[in-house]
Chain A
Amino acid sequence: MSRIVVHGLEKSYGDARVLERVNVTAEAGEFLSLVGASGCGKSTFLRILLGQEQQSGGVVVVDDGPIVPEPTPQRGIVFQRYSVFPHLTALQNLLLVEDFRSGGPFGRVFGARRRNARQVAEAMLERVGLAHARDLYPASLSGGMQQRLAIAQTLLGRPQILLLDEPFGALDPGIRVEMHELLTELWTEHGMTVVMVTHDIGEAFKLGTRVLVFDKVRHDPQFPSAYGATITYDLKLDRKNRASSLEVAKVAAMVGTARPDSAIATTASQRRP
């Protein structure tokens, strides 16, 4: 629902440059998949879009203004870990969204509004298949259940931009496929702009409408951190058709995946909505 324009983005930590010359425009409602070698700066890029960190140079524009330099409800996030609040049960985690949004100085809604929020939260729990776990604390949920809860919580915040940092990285293949379906459904329903970081090339092609590869183009053998990564490949996918295995293989080679064929297989076996 929001357009993101990134122009000439740079990020350095001290002497080490992580990102440089990053230019990309994401139209409202696009689903961007970010892939790239480990440590090339994908999470850093996402944290900048979130407002948790600030760029060292360049501009990021969201809709019509420069990005607000702190996290706001406009942008939702699901991290790989630490994505739900461990001191709240599944239901309380979802209620917290309404509590924060309109709970005033107590950070809690009362009365009819609480009952309403409860209904919405319970419907959402049902939706992500956690109805039976509503009163459990995250510590007693499996990794997949925690991520489902995190996604549900983030979506209840109705963000215009959804940022996902390897949200399914720790899940087994079966649950991953379930999560893909859930995410695709919710995205079709809400139509937010999605930026997802993943190490799974198949997942990138299956879910995204666009695949971006982050990589370093310049190298200094004496000082490896002198140059940062940038977007080296930007592939728009036609919604109707699947990506060709050639393209998948090409991206897999860029990222350095050991077995491009497995990535192709995952992609080929899935039908895009």
Chain B
Amino acid sequence: MNAVSKAGGEGTHSSPPRPKVRLRMINAKVSRGGALFLGGLPFLFVAIAYLIASAQRLAVNPSDKLLPSPVQMWSAFLDLATVPDKRSGDLILWVDTYASLVRLFAGVGVATLVALSLGIAIGFIPRVRAFLLPFVTVVCVIPPLALLPILFIALGLGETAKITLIAIGVAPVMVRDIANRVMELPSELVAKAQTLGGNSWTMILRLVLPQVMPRLITCVRLALGPAWLFLIAAEAIASTEGLGYRIFLVRRYLSMDVILPYVAWITLLAVITDWLLVRLSQAMSPWAHPVEAK
């Protein structure tokens, strides 16, 4: 008894004694620094592999275009970002980025609004569910890219068709996911809200909406992957600017020194968007993100 309390007391002052047992793999914790190191390894590995391969190819043929050196890529990227285009006078990188992001966010934004309103209606109101769920389920399995020609024919080659493609591409899955989440609400909570005097509308406002918010943001995060896919596909086919358009344009000249930085740039934009969405969810629904014990 005494020994135990003594040992415990010491443990709180100095670092706790480390037991000399080999833990199972699933129980071995990773420290912060360790996680950083392990997480960085794959990036480092890919970078080194690329550098070696690129250096070898360039040693054989200095005008090789397939694996440009980091310096070549950086200067190509800097040109696009800072030197106005000879014909149009635009800073190409920023024009492309702006055009693509507007399309992406418009498409995903429309999809989000549709998912929120339809998803809640389908999940919460049995009549709407009977009316729309079979339809949404069928629409979900249509490959959106197969609709692309139809959209271009029906809506022209302008922005509307591209935004519509993104919205149609991601909305059905989001609608279904939100509807599912609403149907998963514990029936106890819904019953309780009614005993407190909630009606269908006020329950949507005060119970359903806040409860699906974290899931909605997760949905948007997951939808952004396919949304980029549809964006680049639409831009590749019919566009005059945009990140996807540029990549497919310079592909003709085998300009890997432009394509690779563009892919990295798109990745960076996607990572930042994702991070912002996580922060948004934490700010909007603190209850769904309990503070983790240190």
Contact = CB atoms under 8 A, between A and B. Distances in A.
B53 to A, nearest CB: 51
Interface stretch (B83-91, B101-109, B202-210, B243-251): B202-210
Contact of A87 (B194, B202, B287): B287
Contacts of A79: 188, 192
Main secondary structure of the interface of B (DSSP, over half): helix
Given A87-B211, A107-B206, A71 B287 contact: no
A77 B191 contact: yes
B188 A83 contact: yes
Interface string B165-206: 000000000000000000000111101111111100111011
A104 to B, nearest CB: 8
B195 A154 contact: yes
Contacts of B210: 87-88
Nearest to B214: A87
B286 interface: yes
A50 B188 contact: no
B229 interface: no
A96 B198 CA distance: 9
B290 interface: yes
A105 B199 CA distance: 9
Interface residues of B, number: 25
Contact of A85 (B189, B195, B205, B290): B189
A142 to B, nearest CB: 14
Interface in A77-115: 77, 79, 81-83, 85-88, 96-97, 99-101, 103, 105-108
A75 B205 contact: no
Contacts of B286: 137
B202 A100 contact: yes
Nearest to B194: A71
Contact of A71 (B186, B191, B207, B288): B191
Given A52-B187, A96-B206, A86 B287 contact: yes
B63 to A, nearest CB: 61
A230 interface: no
B267 to A, nearest CB: 34
A157 B288 contact: no
Contacts of A70: 194
A73 B195 contact: yes
A159 interface: yes
B205 A73 contact: no
B293 to A, nearest CB: 11
B205 A106 contact: yes
Contacts of B189: 82, 85
Contacts of A101: 196-197
Contacts of A139: 287, 290
A157 B196 contact: yes
B255 interface: no
A108 B203 CA distance: 11
B35 to A, nearest CB: 26
A105 B285 CA distance: 23
Interface in A235-255: none
B288 A87 contact: yes
A232 interface: no
B195 A72 contact: yes
Contacts of A83: 188, 192
Given A139-B287, A159-B195, 6 more contacts: A81-B188, A99-B206, A107-B201, A107-B205, A138-B287, A140-B290
24 contacts: A52-B187, A71-B191, A71-B192, A71-B194, A77-B192, A79-B188, A82-B192, A85-B189, A85-B192, A85-B207, A86-B211, A87-B285, A88-B210, A88-B287, A96-B196, A101-B197, A105-B202, A107-B201, A107-B202, A137-B287, A139-B287, A139-B290, A140-B290, A159-B195
Interface of A: 50, 52, 70-73, 75-77, 79, 81-83, 85-88, 96-97, 99-101, 103, 105-108, 137-140, 153-154, 157, 159
Sorted nearest first, the 3 A-B pairs with minimum C-beta distance are A107-B202, A71-B194, A82-B188
